Amino acid sequence: FEGEHTMIVAGSTSNEVGFETVIRGHKGNLYIGGSFTTVGGLVRNRLALISTNDGSVTLSFSNNINNTVRALALGDYLYIGGEFTNVAYFGSPNNQRIGVAAVNPTSGALYSGFMADTTTNGGTGTGTGATNVNALLLNGSSLYVAGLFHTITNSDTSTYQRLGVAKVDATTGNVDPTF
């Protein structure tokens, strides 16, 4: 993999730096997340899929995330965690997802059935009081979410106090109230 990594980083512009996390995909390719807005000269706002064969960006995988991606986990979906408040598939409207989201691992499209928005006492988004998901762990049908947040909200708008760690259903994002 060293050669491919060199190809990605070599000749980087200021928009191509800021890789934060990497995870191997189902077909051996690599998902990368961070604060970058381009990879290999192509617009890839904070999340990209890279071929391990030649280091190229997978063109069929795209999305638009409005802030840094810090954590990745892969199962039936690609779970992303970070400092973002919106996740959009190119050509579709923005969709609010705060701190954690699930996307299609092939296309990058947001999976709308999963919602587990994180918030802090100071609010959401970037800056003072920002939510920040730093770690994700997929274990069977559960996704563990860890970072700087105080509450997590399900798709049914139920909100749970969770000081920096929560266990959610990997399909729906519903919080496990027993954890």
d(CA 175, CA 169): 6
pLDDT at 123: 56
Q: Which pair of structure tokens corresponds to residue 164?
A: 């920096």
d(CA 44, CA 59): 10
Q: Write a three-state SS string for 152-168.
A: EECCCCCEEECCCEEEE
The answer to whether residues 150 and 121 touch, using CB atoms and an 8 Å cutoff, is yes
For the stretch 124-157, pLDDT in tens is: 544 444 579 999 999 999 999 999 999 999 888 8
d(CA 173, CA 122): 22
Please state the separation of Cα 81 from the chain's center in Å: 4
**pLDDT by residue for the chain (179 residues), tens digit each?**
333 333 343 334 445 568 889 999 988 899 999 999 999 889 999 999 999 888 899 999 998 999 999 999 999 999 999 999 989 876 666 688 999 999 999 999 999 999 999 988 755 544 444 579 999 999 999 999 999 999 999 888 889 999 899 999 999 999 999 99
Tell me the whole-structure pTM to 2 decimals: 0.87
The answer to whether residues 60 and 47 touch, using CB atoms and an 8 Å cutoff, is no
Looking up tokens 């990058």 gives: 108
